[in-house]
């Protein structure tokens, strides 16, 4: 076997070589690209819209906040019925026997009702006998009774009124829910729930799984995203707030969400909107593998020969001076 | 004097020396005149060849600005004008990096740059593209702003559906930030160095159906090629 060093010399034998300064080219490239990035940074800056806090949500749309919290108790939110890796309430996405969401189990356990409502209220109930009594009533009530209170309160919230940041509903039999929810709303509006949702028994924390799931369950967050043109129907994953470019390199991944079968209910070959994430991940994995294996795929590897773009790139070689140049 | 003489008198390291083997392998496979060439084939004149080096230049700016951001901590750029500027430099360097990388990829595709034993170089390039997307993805989720929140909340569904979410929790800022500033950049850098070494080891590919090919024009094997490609 010949050494690679010898191979390169052998490979270029008979090819006219011309002077070339690699290091100079690299430094010119560094300067040029640096200048471009510097100018863009100075003139265009970068996006930085403040994050949504639970406090901002509770202050900005108290009815949505209380409705979402009530739905968490009822187990009807997205996170409550999600399935793995958070809980076992949902089946998760699958394609025939391919169900990776199930395979790895509940590795990031989240009990929406307890984590987002009951536990924060228990922590906030110190020195608040009304809240202690309401929580006691709730936890001692039978499941049927809890469901009746939740149904009635959820219906009443549809016509809720907001005054001075407080949510009021028509008189009805809601059990301890109004006391619980008014306290949760108050704690949230004061900013306390932002901290209570990330409490982990340790001083330091960097995991925002719980508050992000809770915020994502409401309509306030998705409404803001829609206003910022970030919704998935608007190719959201590759957008940024404002007019800034986002992850434009995800255009192909995002494209699939806009077309059948991944945006249809009927679907094709078992793929439809309900398992679009899994289907698109599988498709993109295959496409990425195909891109890597282009050198071995007949047809794909031959396109460059059929399309004469290479004649533009190597015009010095294919041009009229070809015979002279190759001396 | 006598001690030096005894050192000078030591026999050369034998072929079992790991150090000598590695040194010889480097000398054989990547001599300095291949690593830092001062001559290139005359047909290396197109602007398409520039896309590779400007991609590397953009990566250097991404890393430099990223080091400054990580040194000052994730809150800095939200509260400081200088921090915001450095973040902007990072943001636009990333955009340029991807623009140049995609142009480089398309350029190499239409040059069929994988020919004559360069398939592994192409494949490593595609892996760099994929790992870069993952690195940028974790960066977008480390922004600690509304965009970061939105991307995390939406991306979790795809990650979870693929089973990846059980180990790669996009809602966990600490995990995303750690991956973004440490492991993934190291991965990209190592892969880019490997890619460059492979390019310099082989040299640039010849034009398609270059003169002297012993095969007929358009023969498929010309597009996969074995080592050396049988080119003259």
Here the tokens at position A267 are 């679907």
A17 touches chain B (CB under 8 A): yes
Question: CA–CA separation, A79 vs A90, rounded Å?
Answer: 9
Here the tokens at position A234 are 């608007």
The whole-number pLDDT of residue A242 equals 86
Check: CB of residue A80 under 8 Å from CB of residue A112: yes
Domain range summary for chain B, segments of one domain joined by +: 48-111, 115-206
pLDDT tens-digit series, residues A200-218: 888 999 999 999 999 999 9
Name the architecture of domain B115-206.
Up-down Bundle (1.20)
What is the DSSP code (8-state) at residue A117?
I
Residue B60 neighbours by CB under 8 Å, 6+ apart: A30
Rounded to the nearest angstrom, the minimum Cα separation between B6 and chain A is 35
* Inter-chain touch A304–B208, beta carbons under 8 Å: yes
* Inter-chain touch A93–B161, beta carbons under 8 Å: yes
Question: CA–CA separation, A1 vs A28, rounded Å?
Answer: 38
Average pLDDT score over chain A: 92
Question: CA–CA separation, B126 vs A209, rounded Å?
Answer: 32
Pairing of strands A166-168, A161-163: antiparallel
A contact test, residue of B91, B177, B216, B227 with most A CBs within 10 A? B91
Q: Residue A232: exposed, middle, or buried by beta-carbon count in 10 A (0-12, 13-18, 19+)?
A: middle
- Could you check whether the bond before residue B216 is cis, i.e. omega within 30 degrees of 0? no
- State whether ipTM is beyond 0.85: yes
The whole-number pLDDT of residue B197 equals 95
Q: What is the mean pLDDT of residues A225-242?
A: 78
Check: CB of residue B34 under 8 Å from CB of residue B28: no
Helix axes B50-72, B81-110, angle to 10 degrees: 150
Question: CA–CA separation, A173 vs A150, rounded Å?
Answer: 10
pLDDT tens-digit series, residues B211-232: 444 343 333 344 443 333 333 2
Question: Residues of A with CB below 8 A from B96's CB?
Answer: 33, 36-37
Distances from the Cα of B117 to the Cα of A8, B30, B123, B157, B226, angstroms: 11, 16, 12, 40, 5
Q: What is the mean pLDDT of residues B8-23?
A: 75
Nearest to A209 among B29, B119, B169 (CB): B169
CB-side neighbour CA atoms (13 Å) of B120:
12
Check: CB of residue A87 under 8 Å from CB of residue A110: yes
Nearest to A36 among B96, B119, B169 (CB): B96
Q: Look at residue B82 and tell me whether its pLDDT is greater than 70.
A: yes
Highest mean pLDDT among A246-250, A321-325, B161-165: B161-165
Question: Residues of B with CB below 8 A from A292's CB?
Answer: 122-123, 126-127
* Inter-chain touch B41–A85, beta carbons under 8 Å: no
Check: CB of residue A16 under 8 Å from CB of residue B42: yes
The whole-number pLDDT of residue A234 equals 59
Q: Look at residue B107 and tell me whether its pLDDT is greater than 70.
A: yes
Residue B13: band (very low, low, confident or very high) from pLDDT cuts 50, 70, 90: low
Q: Look at residue A2 and tell me whether its pLDDT is greater than 70.
A: no
What is the DSSP code (8-state) at residue A168?
E
Beta strand extents in A109-191 (DSSP E only) = 161-163, 166-168
Chain A residue at shortest CA distance from B115:
A295
The predicted model scores a pTM of: 0.90
Q: Look at residue B94 and tell me whether its pLDDT is greater than 50.
A: yes
Q: What is the mean pLDDT of residues A151-159?
A: 97
A297 touches chain B (CB under 8 A): no
pLDDT tens-digit series, residues A23-39: 999 999 999 999 999 99
Q: What is the mean pLDDT of residues A146-159?
A: 97
């Amino acid at each position: 076997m010949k050494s690679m060093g010898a191979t390169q010399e052998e490979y270029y034998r008979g090819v006219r070589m011309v002077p070339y300064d690699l290091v100079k080219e690299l430094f010119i490239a560094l300067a040029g690209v640096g200048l471009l990035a510097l100018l863009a940074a100075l003139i265009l800056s970068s996006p930085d819209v403040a994050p949504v806090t639970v406090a901002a949500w509770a202050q900005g749309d108290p009815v949505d906040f209380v409705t979402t919290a009530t739905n968490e108790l009822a187990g009807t939110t997205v996170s409550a019925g999600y399935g793995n890796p958070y809980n076992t309430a949902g089946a998760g996405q699958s394609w025939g026997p391919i169900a990776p969401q199930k395979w790895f189990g509940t590795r990031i356990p989240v009990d929406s009702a307890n984590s987002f409502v009951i536990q924060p209220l228990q922590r906030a109930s110190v020195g608040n006998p009304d809240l202690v009594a309401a929580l006691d009533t709730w936890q001692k009530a039978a499941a049927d009774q809890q469901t009746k209170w939740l149904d009635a309160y959820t219906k009443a919230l549809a016509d809720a009124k907001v005054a001075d940041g407080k949510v009021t509903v028509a008189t009805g039999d809601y059990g301890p829910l109004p006391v619980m929810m008014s306290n949760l709303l108050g704690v949230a509006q004061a900013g306390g729930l932002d901290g209570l949702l990330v409490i982990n028994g340790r001083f330091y924390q960097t995991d925002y799984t719980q508050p992000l799931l809770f915020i994502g369950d409401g309509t306030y967050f998705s409404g803001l995203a829609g206003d910022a043109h970030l919704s998935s129907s608007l190719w959201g994953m590759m957008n940024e707030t404002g007019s800034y470019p986002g992850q434009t390199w995800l255009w192909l991944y995002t494209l699939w969400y806009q077309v059948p079968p991944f945006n249809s209910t009927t679907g094709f070959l078992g793929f439809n909107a309900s398992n679009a994430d899994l289907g698109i991940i599988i498709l993109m994995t295959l496409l990425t593998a195909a891109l890597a294996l282009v050198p071995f795929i007949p047809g794909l590897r031959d396109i460059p020969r059929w399309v004469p773009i290479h004649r533009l790139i190597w015009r010095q070689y294919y041009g009229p001076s070809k015979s002279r140049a190759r001396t | 004097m006598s001690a030096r003489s005894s050192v000078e008198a030591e026999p050369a390291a034998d072929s079992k020396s790991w150090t000598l083997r590695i040194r010889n392998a480097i000398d054989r496979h990547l001599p300095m005149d291949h690593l830092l060439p001062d001559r290139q084939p005359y047909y290396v004149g197109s602007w398409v060849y520039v896309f590779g080096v400007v991609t590397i230049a953009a990566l250097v700016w991404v890393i430099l600005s990223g080091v400054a951001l990580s040194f000052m901590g994730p809150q800095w750029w939200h509260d400081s004008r200088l921090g915001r500027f450095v973040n902007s430099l990072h943001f636009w360097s990333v955009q340029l990096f991807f623009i140049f990388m995609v142009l480089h990829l398309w350029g190499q595709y239409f040059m069929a740059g994988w020919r004559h034993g360069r398939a592994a170089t192409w494949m490593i390039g595609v892996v760099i593209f994929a790992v870069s997307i993952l690195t940028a993805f974790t960066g977008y989720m480390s922004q600690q702003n509304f965009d970061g929140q939105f991307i995390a909340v939406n991306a979790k569904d795809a990650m979870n559906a693929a089973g990846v979410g059980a180990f790669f929790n996009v809602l966990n800022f600490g995990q995303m930030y750690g991956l973004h500033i440490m492991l993934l950049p190291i991965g990209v850098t190592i892969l880019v160095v490997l890619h460059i070494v492979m390019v310099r080891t082989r040299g640039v590919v010849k034009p398609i159906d270059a003169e002297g090919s012993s095969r007929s024009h358009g023969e498929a094997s010309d597009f996969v090629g074995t080592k050396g490609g049988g080119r003259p």
